[in-house]
């Protein structure tokens, strides 16, 4: 009985070992095939292939440009908002009596929250 248990255990371990070896070989074969395909693709200079490469390059460059412009526009918009906020804050300090500044801040926060909730609702509705 013990011999049968040991034989089953050894058979299971052998199966695991064979699976690991097979998996390693399959991975090596896949990597080799991939590299062969890369080499063949790089060597292909047919008109269709060149057009595909040019199209992909153009798409990648367009994406980079859009991303760059979007980032630039975001920074410009952010700077303008901060600048305008600072101007408004200074005007408020100069024109509103000291005791009423807190009430004005609360009202500004209320308006900002309303705008935020409105734009969040529109963004959620458009999705």
pLDDT band at 70 (very low <50, low <70, confident <90, very high): confident
All structural domains of the chain with their residue ranges: 1-43, 48-95, 97-127
d(CA 24, CA 30): 10
- Residue of higher predicted confidence among 101 and 39: 39
Contacts for 28-36: CB closer than 8 Å, 24+ residues apart: none
The model's pTM is 0.41
pLDDT of 43: 92
SS3 label, residue 16: helix
The token pair at 112 is 């900002």
Burial 89-98 (b: 16+ CB within 10 A, else e): eeeeeeeeee
Residues 32-51 pLDDT 10s: 998 998 899 899 998 888 88
């Amino acid at each position: 009985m013990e011999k049968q248990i040991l034989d089953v255990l050894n058979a299971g371990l052998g199966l695991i070992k064979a699976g690991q070896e097979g998996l390693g070989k399959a991975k090596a074969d896949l990597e080799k095939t991939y590299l062969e395909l890369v080499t063949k693709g790089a060597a292909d200079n047919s008109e269709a292939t060149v057009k595909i490469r040019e199209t992909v390059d153009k798409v990648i460059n367009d994406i980079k440009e859009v991303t760059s412009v979007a980032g630039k526009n975001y920074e410009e918009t952010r700077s303008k908002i901060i600048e305008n906020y600072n101007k408004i804050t200074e005007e408020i300090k100069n024109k509103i009596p000291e005791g009423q500044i807190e009430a004005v801040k609360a009202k500004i926060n209320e308006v900002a929250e309303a705008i935020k909730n409105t734009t969040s609702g529109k963004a959620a509705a458009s999705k």
